[in-house]
Structure 1
């Protein structure tokens, strides 16, 4: 049985979900971002206990198809930007559409309707959070980060970074110990 979970965007979330499943003695064959494959169907009572346990950890079970599609879209973007070694050579809209097997215009319209922001803006917010993370690691130059994140230039990255954060990447790097990153769940 497959269940879908909202706000499950990190390893920490996977661990939290596993803890809740273990409490209820629910065996799983896999736990991925936003999705758990259980070895057997669960009862209504078990589902309710799981729902309550997940809510305490800031996670939610997804029951309706629209919310599920939005979460799959977000998960696809997060996996691509935060956990991929290399970005695809196709544009984001083609990648998301192909990965989810949905028309991109439909996804974009639904995403905007439900979230009040566009997929493009959500991608930008995630890219900037990833850039912040890379700046905090202090292992790559701004040029290397720009190339890694598929920006057309350092100037483009810097402009987008400043537009979102109000700071230049260089200034952010200087004050990095005092600046907190936004949790992926909050984007």
Structure 2
């Protein structure tokens, strides 16, 4: 029987690879693995607590409560929204419309549950994620600040700079001067 495992803290393609590898090591028959979940057939003797313990070794964990599952789905949808903005630019949908269509629920409901589960608003989470993406692009040093603003859908370099300073406490130029890169982990946001 196929079981859907809802998995917390999956934020990138490497997370998918780690989860796949660890499930295979347990002898689990994997049907599909995407950010936030895996569809599997558990072999005889492998229980959900065993799978959960194995995943916890790598910073993941199984989630069972509906509101927690929704919060993880929203995190995945916000990551997808960031990619949507990079691809669509000025033609990108609004965050609320994108999240509602991706999740299939009313945005106000989604936002309320997300805030309850994470302790901050969906918009704040999006801003934190967006600033982490700005840091990543600054670290690569392939784009200037104007290009980063355009790529991430900021209305202006000034707006990007103000938001960056408000979140990090540093100006973009001070951030770029730092010797040690101080970036957060996406699953900690």
How does the TM-score come out when normalised to structure 2? Answer: 0.91
1:120 equivalenced with 2:126 (yes/no):
no
Aligned residue pair count: 185
Structure 1 residue 41: Cα displacement? 5.1
Q: How is 1:139-158 mapped onto 2 (pairs within 5 angstroms)?
A: 139-158=142-161
C-alpha distance 110-44 of structure 1, shift in aligned 2 (>3 A): farther
Q: Are the aligned partners of 2:10 and 2:187 in contact in 1 as well (CA < 8 Å)? A: yes
The match for 2:183 is 181
Q: CA deviation at 1:83?
A: 8.2
Q: What residue in structure 1 maps to residue 8 of structure 2?
A: 6
Distance 1:21 1:135, change over 3 A: same
Aligned to 1:16: 18
> Structure 1 runs of 4+ off > 3 angstroms?
41-45, 82-85
Q: For residues 166 and 151 of structure 2, what CA distance do their matches in structure 1 show?
A: 20
Aligned with residue 25 of structure 1, among 1, 21, 27 = 27
Aligned to 2:50: 49
CA distance in 1, matches of 2:86, 2:152: 10
The answer on whether the counterparts of 1:112 and 1:119 sit within 8 Å (CA) in structure 2 is yes
Judged with a 3 Å threshold, the aligned counterparts in structure 2 of structure 1 residues 44 and 112 are, in CA distance, closer, same or farther, namely: farther
Q: Structure 2, unaligned stretches of length 5 or more?
A: none
TM-score of the two chains, using structure 1 as the length reference: 0.92
8 A Cα contact 2:86 2:152, kept in partner: no
Q: Following TM superposition, by how much is the alpha carbon of 1:99 offset from its aligned partner in structure 2, in angstroms? A: 0.6
Larger mean Cα displacement after TM superposition, 21-30 or 162-171: 21-30
Secondary structure of residue in 2 paired with 1:61: strand
From the superposition, tell whether residues 53 and 162 of structure 1 become closer, same or farther in structure 2 (CA, over 3 Å): same
- C-alpha separation in 2, matches of 1:19 and 1:136: 30
- Tell me if structure 2 keeps the 8 A contact 1:111–1:118: yes
User: In the alignment, what sits opposite 1:86?
Assistant: 87
CA gap 1:96/1:42 in 2 versus in 1, 3 angstroms: farther
Shift of 1:164: 0.4
> Structure 1 pair 84/151, CA: closer, same or farther in 2 (3 Å)?
closer
| CA distance in 1: counterparts of 2:39 and 2:87, whole angstroms | 27
What secondary structure is seen at the aligned counterpart in 2 of 1:86? Answer: helix
Contact 1:97 1:104 in 2 (8 A): yes
Report the alpha carbon displacement of residue 85 of structure 1 after superposing the two structures with TM.
4.5
What is the CA deviation profile of residues 97-138 of structure 1, one whole-angstrom value per residue up to 9, with x for unaligned ones?
011000000011111111110000000000000000000000
Q: CA RMSD in A?
A: 1.8
For structure 1, the residue ranges without an aligned partner over 5 or more in a row are: none
